[in-house]
């Protein structure tokens, strides 16, 4: 019985010792005491430190057991894992001290020595503030930066951050800063160190410059010294906001210019096609194509204007430099080459002749082609213009806005290259024959054939420039052979340029049965490969679908809608039985140029064909559905029914 009692007591003692050891306060065994100065805060790490009644003893160790030490009150963190104490500014000699944590008549030695240096030897120094230009954040328009130096206060909040001329900033407590970090809304600044950077790199979060945006001078107050001042520039816009603002201002300038063009010149109308004011900068009205010389001048001017606006925004809104930026020396030369090439191109065109008109409508291909031919000199000039403009924009936008003080200069080698490209482009215009340009098209005659022995002939008059009597001809997708067309020079042009050139020619298509109806593309290609494309007829005869008719042998009036109707129209009606009837002009009553009344006999039920024939023998047709009668046509007419409508 006694043996069991002893075992129980022993077990209770072991458990008690284990429980006591689990809550026994300890100090970290790793030496972490700093070299510091009077007035600064020192932090000691530990475990299970009591929340109340803790103080620190500083002993020199020179007095042996009689050294009671200097007692300093300590503040324990809420988690019990650290305590901090502040060294007195007075009554504390410099030197090395042993540190003890005292509580409940117990003392725990702190590993290492605490060295208190003189104020002069530990003078606070600020080497830099990063970033030197601060853009802030998009959340609450606050700014974050880092202060790097030496001998900053060991405890972050012991540092006093002063805005020179405006006083110290209010620092948030640890609890406040945790709340700010969660909400991303800083009402006070928060100071902190990264592990291992205590006293060397102080992080400042949540600074609001208020009315002090722009250059701001800071200095740091440590407990016993003040640093020299360092300047930070607080930008009023972000990098993306700056780019957006520069783009907006440039677009506004472009809009003003376009508005002036629209008010002064209006809308281009070429061959029935309307072009907006933007086309005025690129379009060559004579050839209805885009001009390369105009494009490169507009491109270089546009990127130069954008670059200058962007640099001006950088200097004023970020760098706080309110002066006009300087112009690099190479830019006047480059813009001079660009403008000179445009002026010279206009002069060559006026004396030598224009390039070929090419495809029917203007397209981006006009920048590298002439008369439908891709030309190496135009291709080179166009590509180097794109490379130069794109490279300039890349260099400008990739530069740090806080460090961009001037536009990228144009190197002399690139100026030579652009000059050579411009010379090649102008030289090509000089040595190359002018291309064909069609300004007016008219179908002068149509001679219908008598199938199956002969084919129809169409004669088309073309007026313009550089139209060759020896040109090749293509209609739609068909290349015509020599036996399928002929060209007659009506009005010769300057024989010194080319004896075959005419300002007016007549093109006769000898096998033209497929071209009597609808509108077709006509390609006229000179012997050097340059071409012009036009359409014929300009105003083709068209006919819209006709309402269903009812069968019968009694003539009825049929309303026909379409376009480009003219006096003298005749018609042909082929009924479902394939019986064709010619309808004279007297039976074709013209209401407007878009509506006719044609009198015809529907015939039997089925599908018939109505064909209109213009005075020049151009044609248009439509199929008409003739339905069976379901009631007496005489009674229907007597009752007021329209016999042309379906029954």
Per-residue pLDDT averaged across 376-386, rounded?
92
* Residue where a domain stops, chosen among 65, 100, 117: 117
pLDDT higher than 60, residue 634: no
Question: Is there a contact between 565 and 547 (Cβ–Cβ < 8 Å)?
Answer: no
pLDDT higher than 80, residue 3: no
Mean pLDDT, rounded, of the chain? 85
Cα(370)–Cα(355) distance, integer angstroms = 6
Residue 14 pLDDT grade (very low, low, confident, very high; cuts 50, 70, 90): very low
Provide the b/e sequence for 129-155 (b: ≥16 CB within 10 Å).
bebebbbbeeeeebbbbebbbebbbbb
Domain CATH number, residue 553? 2.60.40.10
The phi and psi torsions of 365 (rounded to 5 degrees) equal -65, -20
213 Cβ contact list (under 8 Å, min separation 6):
234, 235, 236
Specify which residues 4 forms β-bridges with: none
Cα(368)–Cα(379) distance, integer angstroms = 5
* Mode of pairing for the β-strands spanning 35-37 and 106-117: parallel
Q: What is the pLDDT of residue 472?
A: 93
Residue 5 lies in a domain: no
* Same domain membership, residue 394 and residue 282: yes
* Same domain membership, residue 282 and residue 389: yes
* Same domain membership, residue 406 and residue 493: no
Cis-peptide into 452, omega within 30 deg: yes
Cα(47)–Cα(566) distance, integer angstroms = 107
Within 387-456, strands assigned E span 437-447
Cα 162 versus chain centre, distance: 43
Please report where in the chains the tokens 């199929």 appear, as a residue. Answer: 623
Q: Count structural domains, the chain.
A: 5
Q: Picking from 15-29, 164-178, 502-516, which range would have the lowest pLDDT averaged per residue?
A: 15-29
Residue 45 lies in a domain: yes
**pTM of the shown model:** 0.70
Q: What is the DSSP string of 76-106?
A: E-TTSSEEEEE--SSS--SEEEEEEEEETTE
Per-residue pLDDT averaged across 48-54, rounded?
89
Torsion angle, alpha carbons of 145, 151, 153, 154, to 10: 100
* Same domain membership, residue 412 and residue 393: yes
**Radius of gyration of the chain from Cα atoms?**
47
* Same domain membership, residue 339 and residue 227: no
Q: What is the pLDDT of residue 412?
A: 87
Structure tokens at 321: 């430099």
* Same domain membership, residue 563 and residue 478: no
Q: Picking from 145-154, 258-267, 568-577, which range would have the lowest pLDDT averaged per residue?
A: 258-267
Residue 15 lies in a domain: no
The fraction of the chain above a pLDDT of 90, given in percent, is 39
Angle between helix 376-398 and helix 412-431 axes, rounded to 10 deg: 150
Q: What is the pLDDT of residue 644?
A: 42
Q: What is the pLDDT of residue 557?
A: 93
| Kind plus residue range of the DSSP H or E element containing 490 | strand 485-492
Question: Is there a contact between 572 and 614 (Cβ–Cβ < 8 Å)?
Answer: no
* Same domain membership, residue 141 and residue 103: no
Per-residue pLDDT averaged across 41-47, rounded?
89
pLDDT higher than 50, residue 639: no
Q: What is the pLDDT of residues 220-252, one digit of tens each?
A: 998 778 899 999 988 888 888 889 999 999 999
Q: Is the dihedral of CA 590, 595, 599, 600 positive or negative?
A: positive
pLDDT higher than 50, residue 255: yes
Question: Is there a contact between 282 and 298 (Cβ–Cβ < 8 Å)?
Answer: yes
Q: What is the pLDDT of residue 549?
A: 92
Specify which residues 592 forms β-bridges with: 595
pLDDT higher than 80, residue 65: no
Please report where in the chains the tokens 């190479």 appear, as a residue. Answer: 330
Q: Is the dihedral of CA 450, 451, 453, 455 positive or negative?
A: positive
| Kind plus residue range of the DSSP H or E element containing 533 | strand 531-536
Q: What is the pLDDT of residue 647?
A: 31
* Same domain membership, residue 112 and residue 133: no
Question: Is there a contact between 49 and 96 (Cβ–Cβ < 8 Å)?
Answer: no
Alpha helices in 116-197, H assignment, sequence order = 174-183
Q: Among 232, 384, 361, which residue's Cα sits nearest to residue 295?
A: 384
519 Cβ contact list (under 8 Å, min separation 6):
535, 536, 537, 540
Question: Is there a contact between 145 and 134 (Cβ–Cβ < 8 Å)?
Answer: yes
* Residue where a domain stops, chosen among 207, 234, 261: 234
Q: Coil, strand or helix: which one is 190?
A: strand
- Greater confidence (13 vs 338) lies with 338
Q: Coil, strand or helix: which one is 625?
A: strand
Angle between helix 412-431 and helix 330-352 axes, rounded to 10 deg: 0
Q: What is the pLDDT of residue 268?
A: 64
Provide the b/e sequence for 86-114 (b: ≥16 CB within 10 Å).
bbeeeebeeeebbbbbbbeeeebebeeeb
Residue 306 lies in a domain: yes
- Farthest CA pair distance, the chain: 146
Cα 368 versus chain centre, distance: 24
Q: What is the pLDDT of residue 110?
A: 92
Residue 16 lies in a domain: no
Residue 22 pLDDT grade (very low, low, confident, very high; cuts 50, 70, 90): low
Cα(215)–Cα(410) distance, integer angstroms = 32
Cα 409 versus chain centre, distance: 24
Q: What is the pLDDT of residue 349?
A: 81
Domain CATH number, residue 447? 2.60.40
* Same domain membership, residue 532 and residue 617: no
Specify which residues 488 forms β-bridges with: 506
Residue 430 pLDDT grade (very low, low, confident, very high; cuts 50, 70, 90): confident
Per-residue pLDDT averaged across 156-165, rounded?
90
Question: Is there a contact between 600 and 584 (Cβ–Cβ < 8 Å)?
Answer: no
Q: What is the pLDDT of residues 328-368, one digit of tens each?
A: 888 888 888 888 888 888 888 887 778 888 887 888 888 88
Question: Is there a contact between 52 and 70 (Cβ–Cβ < 8 Å)?
Answer: no
Q: What is the pLDDT of residues 599-609, one digit of tens each?
A: 999 999 999 99
Q: How many CA atoms lie within 13 A of 578 on its CB side?
A: 0
Cα(521)–Cα(310) distance, integer angstroms = 48
* Same domain membership, residue 361 and residue 410: yes
pLDDT higher than 50, residue 18: no
Q: What is the pLDDT of residue 636?
A: 41
Q: Picking from 255-264, 555-564, 609-618, 634-643, which range would have the lowest pLDDT averaged per residue?
A: 634-643
Residue 540 pLDDT grade (very low, low, confident, very high; cuts 50, 70, 90): very high
Provide the b/e sequence for 61-80 (b: ≥16 CB within 10 Å).
eeeeeeeebbebebebeeee
Q: How far is CA 188 from CA 159, 178, 204, in A?
A: 14, 12, 10
Domain extent for 98: 26-117
Q: Among 566, 555, 536, 538, which residue's Cα sits nearest to residue 599?
A: 555
Residue 8 pLDDT grade (very low, low, confident, very high; cuts 50, 70, 90): low
pLDDT higher than 60, residue 586: yes
Please report where in the chains the tokens 């813009």 appear, as a residue. Answer: 335
Q: What is the pLDDT of residues 437-495, one digit of tens each?
A: 999 999 999 998 777 667 899 999 999 999 999 999 999 989 999 899 999 999 999 88
Structure tokens at 414: 């690139």
Q: What is the pLDDT of residue 637?
A: 40
Q: Coil, strand or helix: which one is 169?
A: coil
Cα(467)–Cα(583) distance, integer angstroms = 40
- Greater confidence (297 vs 21) lies with 297
Residue 19 lies in a domain: no
Cα(464)–Cα(288) distance, integer angstroms = 12
The fraction of the chain above a pLDDT of 70, given in percent, is 90
Please report where in the chains the tokens 């290609």 appear, as a residue. Answer: 525
The phi and psi torsions of 76 (rounded to 5 degrees) equal -95, 140
Torsion angle, alpha carbons of 128, 129, 131, 137, to 10: 170
* Residue where a domain stops, chosen among 402, 429, 456: 429
| Kind plus residue range of the DSSP H or E element containing 398 | helix 376-398
Q: What is the pLDDT of residues 103-155, one digit of tens each?
A: 888 889 999 899 888 877 778 889 999 998 888 776 777 899 999 998 888 88
Residue 456 lies in a domain: yes
Structure tokens at 527: 């012997």
Cα(404)–Cα(390) distance, integer angstroms = 18
Length of the chain equals 647
* Same domain membership, residue 568 and residue 591: yes
* Same domain membership, residue 83 and residue 193: no
DSSP 8-class letter at 511? S
Residue 643 lies in a domain: no
Q: What is the pLDDT of residues 391-420, one digit of tens each?
A: 999 999 998 888 888 998 888 888 898 889
């Amino acid at each position: 019985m006694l043996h069991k009692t002893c075992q129980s007591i022993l077990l209770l003692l072991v458990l008690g010792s284990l429980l006591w050891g689990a809550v026994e306060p300890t100090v970290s065994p790793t030496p972490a005491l700093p070299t510091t100065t009077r007035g600064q805060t020192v932090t000691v790490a530990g475990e299970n430190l009591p929340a109340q009644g803790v103080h620190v003893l500083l002993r020199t160790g020179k007095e042996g057991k009689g050294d009671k030490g200097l007692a300093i009150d300590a503040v324990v963190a809420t988690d019990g894992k650290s305590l901090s104490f502040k060294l007195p500014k007075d009554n504390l000699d410099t030197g090395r001290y042993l540190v003890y944590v005292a509580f409940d008549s117990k003392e725990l030695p702190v590993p290492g020595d605490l060295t208190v240096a003189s104020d002069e030897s530990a003078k606070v120094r600020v080497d830099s503030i990063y970033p030197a230009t601060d853009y802030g954040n998009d959340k609450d328009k606050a700014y974050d930066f880092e202060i790097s130096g030496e001998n900053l206060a060991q405890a972050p909040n012991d540092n006093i951050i002063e805005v020179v001329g405006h006083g110290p900033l209010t620092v948030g407590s640890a609890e406040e800063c945790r709340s700010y970090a969660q909400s991303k809304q800083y009402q006070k600044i928060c100071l902190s160190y990264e592990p291992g950077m205590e006293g060397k790199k102080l992080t400042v979060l949540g600074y609001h410059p208020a009315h002090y945006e722009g250059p701001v001078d800071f200095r740091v107050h440590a407990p016993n010294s003040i640093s020299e001042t360092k300047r930070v520039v607080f930008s009023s816009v972000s990098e993306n906001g700056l780019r957006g603002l520069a783009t907006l201002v440039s677009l506004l300038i472009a809009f003003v210019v376009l508005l002036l063009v629209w008010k002064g010149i209006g809308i281009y109308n070429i061959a029935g096609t309307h072009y907006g004011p933007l086309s005025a900068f690129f379009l060559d009205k004579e050839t209805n194509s885009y001009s390369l010389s105009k494009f490169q001048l507009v491109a270089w001017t546009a990127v130069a204007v954008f670059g200058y606006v962007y640099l001006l925004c950088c200097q004023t809104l970020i760098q706080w430099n309110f002066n006009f930026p300087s112009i690099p020396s190479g830019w006047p030369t480059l813009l001079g080459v660009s403008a000179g090439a445009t002026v010279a191109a206009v002069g060559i065109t006026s004396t030598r002749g224009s390039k070929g008109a090419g495809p029917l409508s203007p397209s981006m291909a006009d920048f590298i082609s002439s008369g439908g031919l891709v030309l190496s000199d135009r291709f080179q000039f166009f590509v180097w213009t794109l490379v130069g403009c794109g490279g300039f924009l890349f260099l400008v936008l990739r530069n740090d806005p806080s460090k961009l003080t001037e536009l990228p200069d144009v190197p002399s080698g690139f100026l030579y290259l652009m000059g050579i490209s411009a010379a090649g482009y102008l030289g090509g215009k000089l040595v190359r024959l002018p291309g064909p340009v069609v300004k007016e098209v008219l179908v002068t005659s149509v001679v219908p054939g008598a199938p199956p022995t002969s084919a129809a002939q169409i004669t088309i008059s073309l007026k313009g420039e550089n139209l060759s009597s020896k040109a090749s001809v293509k209609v739609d997708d068909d290349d015509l052979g020599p036996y399928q067309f002929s060209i007659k020079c009506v009005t010769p042009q300057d024989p010194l340029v080319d004896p075959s050139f005419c300002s007016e020619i007549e093109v006769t298509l000898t096998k033209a049965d497929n071209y009597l109806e609808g509108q077709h593309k006509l390609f006229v290609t000179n012997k050097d490969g340059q071409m012009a494309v036009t359409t014929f007829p300009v105003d083709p005869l068209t006919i819209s679908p006709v309402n269903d008719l009812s069968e019968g042998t009694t003539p009825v009036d049929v309303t026909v809608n379409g376009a480009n109707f003219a006096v003298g129209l005749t018609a042909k009606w082929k009924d479902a039985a394939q019986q064709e009837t010619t309808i004279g002009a007297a039976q074709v009553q013209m209401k407007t140029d878009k509506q006719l009344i044609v009198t015809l006999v529907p015939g039997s039920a089925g599908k018939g064909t109505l064909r209109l024939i213009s005075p020049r023998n151009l044609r248009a047709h439509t199929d008409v559905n003739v339905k069976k009668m379901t009631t007496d046509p005489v009674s229907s007419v007597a009752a007021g029914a329209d016999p042309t409508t379906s029954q």
